[in-house]
Chain A
Amino acid sequence: MSKRPFSYKLNIFVFLLPALILFVGVLIAPIILSGYYSLTEWNGLKTPVFIGLENYRELFTSKSINIMRALKNAMLLALLSTFIQLPFALWLALKLSKKPRGERVFLSVYFMPVLISTVVIGQLWLKIYNPDYGVLNLLLRSLGLGNLAPVKGWLGDKKTALWAAFVPILWQYVGYHMLLMYAGIKGVPPELNEAAMLDGCTEGQVNRYIIIPYIRPILRVSVIFAVTGSLKSFDLIYVLTNGGPNHATEVPSTLMINLLFLRNRYGMGSAIAVMLIILCFVFAVLINAVFKEEKGR
């Protein structure tokens, strides 16, 4: 295998070709274009006018755009996702891997919300939260806690809207992470478990010292997915609140769509796109580094 004939290189190229065409044509080229648009003042119709970094300056200083609020919301979602959704998914996966009665049924049921279209989930939760007829308020009323429900509705009240919008997002993807982790745990060689058990380790110790370290690569993927997914989150928030009330649930993506298609500010919208790409990339690299460092120890 030491010789590298031309045909070998050609083969490499041919194998990469379909992926490269798709990737460069649909992702990279548009992003370079977006990068250029972000340096222009452009309403989508006239010729873009180059204005340098002005959009970025305005983006981070403008009170009416208020990107910091959107970023804070997205970060909150990322934190909730990493420190509540993922641990819960891991807990479920660990318990399910112990083969409780109905393991398969649980597994299938937990994963089910992932399969349902976001639009359907959004519409359903809109109805669950409905101030007049929603199941949530009916439940609270039947428990005698009716006055806990905000008068403006869960998604209409500034104080509750953000949490109410995040709950379906977290709820929907628990099953996805759970299944990934479950798969990982199933991959732990049974000999390892048995040896530890014979040594007198408790279940908690086995989880802590054998299983979790073993499925580290999957945890890494889950964390990256949870964090970048939170930063990019769009569909459910779009259906549930579209950033409202009064921008209380704005995340970068809803802000971007708002600027692009409601305000015709293609330059500014592109600036948010570029910022999002950079943020997601930085976080992915950071998370990778954290996982690598821990492994080194």
Chain B
Amino acid sequence: MKKFLAILLAALMVLSVAALAEEQITLQLWSIATESDSSHQAYVDAIAAFEADHPNIKIEHNATENEAYKTKIKAAMSSGEDLPDIFFTWGMGFLKDFVDAGRVVCLDDYYPAYADELPQAMATNVTYDGKMYGVPYTMSLVTLYANMDLLAQVGYDHIPTTYEEMQACCEALKAADIIPFGVSGKELWCLSEYVEPLVIKSVGGDALKAMYNGEESWNNEAVVAAIAAFQEMVEKEYFDPSAASLGNDEVKNNFIAGKYAFYQNGSWNNADIGSKAEFAVQAGTFPTLNAELSPYQMIGGPNNTLAVTESCEHKEEAIEAAFYLARFFSDADYKSGANLPCWAADPDAEVSDLVKSAADMAAKAESMVLFGDNFLSADAANTYLDYIGQAYAMDITPEEYVEGLDADLH
């Protein structure tokens, strides 16, 4: 009897230990990958794969629309309560506020295990004071999408390679009643997708970075020239005249419907435009303003990132999940054409021509500077975008633009 009891007790202990080991962990993941987002499927697949590999971990994914997400994550970070374990974030300015507040886990101890697959250079935008706080998964570049059918109508079989040729091309398009550029004047960041390439192709990447960092003055002839060129495009009506009342989605859909010859926006549009456009489409980059600079001064960089909160209960698991998911997204988004990978890509992957051009531009890039509104802190970023909006509305001269940025940004 005693023996039997002992065996029973032992069995119970074994069972309870087993039960402990099998304890279910649930990780909360917040992202912007709503059902309409091109990364949504990647999220679903990645979570399923991770859960299959880790039967005791469940990931609860909660997606919020882009703009609402910013409000939500900031409010949650501000109160420090009800935070997710893993969250989507943009690099530089956006994540920095959370890092400064001590809400984000430093990943330095965990990164080396993944260093082979995730090059250190990809982590620059999530590294603060030499410490890494996020796992980047995809990078984006400002891309000039061209409707080659419309260009052919005015006698062009390639995207213009010099600024003069671009101007001539726009004039020819206008003469043929084709709107050269589609842009949303309602969403200021879309205007910056035109202004920033002009600026970087006029001053170069290092100088632009220094200006964002406040180490160099904006009051520089090359910046003035770039803004003047932008305003010339506005004045000559190279942009859709109703741009001011259109949102970016409408503009993108107009481009896909064949309304514009060009649409300049982030490379995250590769999948959408590639799959929906019923005309020949090419991806390229805007010609350089400064003949001494190569046109491969690119705006963009590693940006989409996962990070882990300091308040997270199961840190080890959450960090492992963050790296796992990031690697998965990088691969999935690359293959689907949604974006360019930060992680070493599968060299045999079949990808679309648009993705190939984008990857080619990334490889050729002589400098790469992140989008200004991501680079700068939230307050400065909005001031900066305001100035771009005013330049677009012709409310200020290029001189007032550079003086204003010098006075108000830092």
Contact = CB atoms under 8 A, between A and B. Distances in A.
Pair from one complex: yes
Interface string A247-281: 10000000000100111111000000000000000
Nearest to A242: B186
B245 A264 contact: no
B244 A245 contact: yes
Interface string B179-200: 0000001100000000000000
Contacts of B390: 246
Nearest to B390: A246
A241 B246 CA distance: 10
Interface stretch (B42-50, B343-351, B379-387): B379-387
B378 A153 contact: no
Interface stretch (A87-95, A155-163, A191-199, A216-224): A155-163
A46 B100 contact: yes
A34 to B, nearest CB: 14
Given A46-B101, A263-B382, 17 more contacts: A43-B97, A44-B74, A44-B75, A45-B77, A45-B97, A151-B241, A152-B241, A152-B245, A153-B244, A155-B245, A156-B242, A156-B246, A245-B186, A245-B244, A262-B382, A263-B378, A264-B378
Q: Is the interface of A mostly helix, strand, loop or mixed?
A: loop
Given A245-B186, A262-B382, A152 B244 contact: yes
A156 B77 contact: no
Given A64-B386, A262-B378, A157 B244 contact: yes
A44 to B, nearest CB: 4
A118 interface: no
Contact of B393 (A44, A154, A246, A265): A246
A266 B78 CA distance: 10
A258 B389 CA distance: 15
A59 to B, nearest CB: 14
A130 interface: yes
Given A158-B393, A264-B378, A264-B379, A153 B245 contact: yes
B408 interface: yes
A58 interface: no
29 contacts: A43-B379, A44-B74, A44-B75, A44-B78, A45-B101, A46-B101, A64-B408, A132-B242, A151-B241, A151-B242, A152-B242, A152-B244, A153-B245, A153-B246, A156-B242, A156-B243, A156-B246, A158-B393, A244-B186, A244-B389, A245-B389, A245-B393, A246-B386, A246-B393, A247-B386, A261-B74, A262-B378, A264-B74, A265-B379
Counting chain B CB atoms within 10 Å of each CB, the highest count among A44, A46, A155, A258 belongs to A44
A264 B245 CA distance: 26
Interface residues of A, number: 29
Contacts of B245: 129-131, 152-156
B242 A131 contact: yes
B360 to A, nearest CB: 35
Contacts of B395: 246
Contacts of A131: 242, 245
Contacts, number: 81
B128 interface: no
B324 interface: no
B98 interface: yes
Q: Is the interface of B mostly helix, strand, loop or mixed?
A: helix
Given A44-B74, A45-B100, A153 B393 contact: no
The 8 residue pairs across chains A and B that have the minimum distance between CB atoms: A156-B244, A153-B245, A156-B245, A45-B101, A44-B78, A131-B242, A152-B244, A263-B379
B103 interface: yes
Interface in B385-410: 386, 389-390, 393, 395, 408
Interface in B330-386: 377-379, 382-383, 386
Nearest to A268: B379
Contacts of A154: 245
A152 B242 CA distance: 4
Contacts of B70: 261-262
Given A64-B383, A246-B390, A156 B185 contact: yes
A158 B100 CA distance: 39
A270 to B, nearest CB: 13
Nearest to A263: B379
Interface string B72-103: 00110110000000000000000001101101
Nearest to B93: A264
A151 B245 CA distance: 10
Contacts of A245: 185-186, 244, 389, 393
Contact of A45 (B78, B242, B243): B78
B380 to A, nearest CB: 9
Interface string A148-174: 000111111110000000000000000
Nearest to B383: A64
Contacts of A44: 74-75, 77-78
A241 B188 CA distance: 12
Nearest to B99: A45
B36 interface: no
Contacts of B243: 152, 156
Interface in A103-161: 129-132, 151-158
Contacts of B244: 152-153, 155-157, 244-245
Contacts of A43: 97, 378-379
A266 B379 CA distance: 11
Interface in B174-226: 185-186
Counting chain B CB atoms within 10 Å of each CB, the highest count among A158, A263, A266 belongs to A263
A46 B103 CA distance: 10
Nearest to B395: A246
Nearest to A151: B241
B387 to A, nearest CB: 9
A241 B186 CA distance: 8
B202 to A, nearest CB: 24
Contacts of B97: 43, 45, 264
A132 B242 CA distance: 8
A130 to B, nearest CB: 7
Interface string B221-257: 0000000000000000000011111100000000000
A168 B243 CA distance: 22
B300 to A, nearest CB: 22
A131 B185 CA distance: 14
Interface string A42-63: 0111100000000000000000
